[in-house]
Structure 1
Amino acid sequence: MALIYMRKAKTSDIDAMMEIIDEAKALLKADGSTQWQDGHPDRALLLDDIEHGFARVLIVDGEVAGTATLMTAPDPNYAKIEGSWSDTTDPYGTIHRIAISSKFRGLKLSKFFFSNLISDTYSQEIYHMRIDTHEMNKRMQHLVKEFGFKYTGIIYVSDAIDGKRLAYELSMVK
């Protein structure tokens, strides 16, 4: 059994994080998705996530196996939605930029990572979560539904190719 855990990312993790993001970009492209094909997320964005304490890494036997951003500040992209959020008053956490290294794909680590991100949010006394994904990203849609996220509508993000995203929300019991 491997030692698997999640922690806040450090600046020293950036090269491994970028390698994972670049692999994920290639996988999305192979799936026919335009998500992440306009150059982001890039190194500067991930370093900003680290600086703000939002970046997380999944560690497997001492190696960075996954990267994600757990944003606990309001996301400006979520201010407008074609549809509606079920909760518009309480604070929420947002999962962004989640990816697993190709070296570790197929081990169901995305489920482990998601569970840890949800637990981390809950431990911060934040009981609502949001996430968005491209309509072509069937893997992510399956994962968010498996964790009980409910589809809430369409939001738009800054993306040079296609900014339309499917938005999902999860409410946890306090």
Structure 2
Amino acid sequence: MLFRKAVEQDLGQVMAIVAETVKEMRVYGNLQWDAHYPNPERFQRDISNAALYVVEMDGSAAAFVTADEEQPEEYAGLPWSRATPPMVVHRLAVSSKRRGAGLASFLEQSVCDLARASGHDHLRVDTYSTNKPMQAFLTRRGYTYVGEMSFRGKELPFYCYEKML
């Protein structure tokens, strides 16, 4: 497994993982991602900003995550533990063909390492309130629930988490 910055050539594989993930999310009633978000333009910006990372296996992207300092405005009213700039985790997914191999944990650990190396002492992340698998994953990985916010015009709230490094 190789954790690396994404390049233009990864975009097709990233979007294929998005399509798989949206389909799976629908099965358990999670409408966090849809036909409009995340889209290729969003990932193109992530690549341009050097913020999109992939886990490469056998020459192709098997998982991805965006990690940067970009925080939604809605984070401002939450009771975060620290005021220092965090590394923020966005848009994390693993190919359905690669699930169960520890890629999500490898991806998250790689983001923790990246954060430490760039001088961050904590991570922040949010997920839709119906995304129970992601909530369970975050708890297993040592994240603490901070609160909820309304976001992107969705009907239900997003839950926000942080992890101290």
* Same fold flag (TM > 0.5): yes
Q: Partners of 2:91 and 2:116 in 1: how far apart?
A: 19
Question: d(CA) in 2 for partners of 1:74 and 1:110?
Answer: 22
Structure 2, unaligned runs of 5 or more? none
Q: 2:81 aligns with which of 77, 86, 97?
A: 86
Corresponding residue for 2:32? Answer: 35
Q: For the residues of structure 2 that align with 1:157 and 1:52, how far apart are their CA atoms?
A: 23
Question: Which residue number in structure 2 is paired with residue 170 of structure 1?
Answer: 163
Q: Note the aligned Cα RMSD (angstroms).
A: 1.4
For structure 1, which segment, 132-141 or 39-48, has the greater mean C-alpha deviation from structure 2 after superposition? 132-141
The 8 Å contact of residues 129 and 156 in structure 2, kept in 1 or not, is answered as no
**In structure 2, how many angstroms separate the alpha carbons of the residues matched to 1:35 and 1:75?**
15
Counterpart of 1:137 (choices 127, 131, 142) is 131
Percent identical residues: 28
Q: Describe the SS at the equivalent of 2:38.
A: coil
Q: Deviations over 1:36-74 (max 9, x none)?
A: 125200000010111111101011122210111002234
- Tell me, yes or no, if structure 1 residue 17 matches structure 2 residue 10: no
The Cα shift of 1:19 comes to 0.6
Task: Determine if contact 1:29/1:37 at 8 Å carries over to the other structure.
Answer: no
2:89 is aligned, of 92, 95, 114, to 95
- Tell me if the contact between 1:66 and 1:98 (Cα under 8 Å) persists in the aligned partners: yes
- TM-score, structure 2 as length reference: 0.94
C-alpha distance after superposition, 1:14-42 (max 9, x if no partner): 10111111111111111111111252000
Would you say 1:153 and 2:150 are equivalent positions? no
Deviation, structure 1 residue 80: 2.8
Could you tell me whether the CA contact under 8 Å between 1:35 and 1:162 is conserved in 2? Answer: no
**Given the two structures, how large is their TM-score scaled by the length of structure 1?**
0.89
Residues 72-130 of structure 1: per-residue CA shift (max 9 Å, x gap) = 2343331233xx1111x201011110000111112121111111111111111111100
- Consecutive unaligned residues in structure 1, runs of 5 or more: none
Q: Does the 8 A contact of 2:68 with 2:87 survive in 1?
A: yes
Q: Which runs of 4+ in 1 moved over 2 A?
A: 72-77
Q: Which residue of 1 aligns with 2:109?
A: 115
Q: What is the letter of the counterpart of residue 171 of structure 1?
A: M
Would the aligned equivalents of 1:130 and 1:169 in 2 still touch at CA under 8 Å? yes
The CA distance in 2 between the partners of 1:99 and 1:37, in whole Å, is: 14
Change (3 A) 1:158 1:22: same
Determine the C-alpha separation between the residues in 2 that align with 1:12 and 1:77.
33
